[in-house]
Amino acid sequence: MSKCEQCIVKQFNSLKSLTHEELARISNCKTSRIVKRGESIFEEGETVNGVYCVKDGICKLSKLSANGKDQIVKLVDKGDLLGQRSLIGDESSNLSAIALTDMEVCFIPKSEIIDDLQKNTNFSMDLLKEMAEDLKESDNVIVDMAQKSVKQRLAETLLYLDSQFGTTEDGYLNLSLSREDYANLVGTATESAIRILSQFKKEGLISTSGKQIKIKDLNALKRIE
């Protein structure tokens, strides 16, 4: 199995702050796992008991609302950590993690890394920084959800997918989501998401090919009110 010390992916998350020795120890007890698109990594209510380092692929973090719809709270990319909060408290996860693409993730048991969190200040400071960043981002999402129209939020989602995950050579968004996932990201009914995407298409802001979406007029999307 590949070694954490040599893994480039860790550069993008807090694990980069671990010492060589710490990494070597973790490398020996970590387990790697392939997750197919649509499969879950963990579910709401489950005890996670460790962190996942996303080596490849993208997943969604979502929460089931009272009315039976999933709300996607965050997308997690290659290089990100998953389940940091399990290191801190003992509670079960309040979110589900479900793969949006095929993924490869490494699991590091809490028992193996919890001491490092206590002893390695760089590591804990780094984690603090990431959580502070996440908090800020969450605040922004709250404001958007509360104050912006569904159309605006959907336009912003497209722009976000473009900037975060890029496009293929022929200009389609690398990450293609189902209409239902778009709706669950934006917090609307699936039909509404479909309708607005159709409207964007009609207005020439995007084009589609099956599930794939291509942004044709980025600035117009930014201007949506």
Between 6 and 67, CB nearer to its own copies: 67
Nearer to its own copies, 176 or 184 (CB): 184
CB-nearer residue toward DNA: 33 or 69:
69
Q: Which does 89 bind (CB under 5 to 8 A by kind): DNA, its own copies, none?
A: its own copies
Contact partner at residue 29 from its own copies, DNA, none, CB < 5 to 8 Å by partner kind: none
Residue 137 beta carbon to its own copies: minimum distance, rounded to whole angstroms: 9
Phi-psi region of 80 (alpha: psi -120 to 50; beta: other; left: phi over 0): beta
In the chain, alpha helices (H): 20-29, 85-88, 110-119, 121-147, 150-165, 179-186, 190-202, 218-223
Minimum CB separation of residue 107 from its own copies in Å reads 19
User: What residues pair up with 215 in beta bridges, in sequence order?
Assistant: 206
Q: Which residues bind DNA (CB under 7 A)?
A: 67, 149-151, 178-180, 187-192, 194-195, 197-198, 208, 210-211
Q: Name which of 172 and 197 has its Cβ closer to its own copies.
A: 197
Binds 88: which of DNA, its own copies, none (CB < 5-8 Å by kind): its own copies
Nearer to DNA by C-beta: 141 or 150?
A: 150
**Sheet of strand 96-99: strand arrangement:** 40-42, 96-99, 59-64, 70-76
* Contact residues: its own copies, CB under 8 A: 63, 65-67, 69, 71, 73, 84-85, 88-89, 94-95, 117-119, 121, 124-125, 127-129, 131-136, 138-148, 186-187
- CA 158-162-164 angle, to 5 degrees, is 115
Cα radius of gyration (the chain)? 19
- Identify what 73 binds: its own copies, DNA, none; CB under 5 to 8 Å per kind: its own copies
**Taking CB within 5 to 8 Å according to partner kind, which of its own copies, DNA, none is near residue 95?**
its own copies
Expressed in angstroms, the distance from the first to the final Cα of the chain is 50
Residue whose tokens read 């050579």: 169
How far is Cα 204 from Cα 199, in angstroms, rounded to an integer?
9
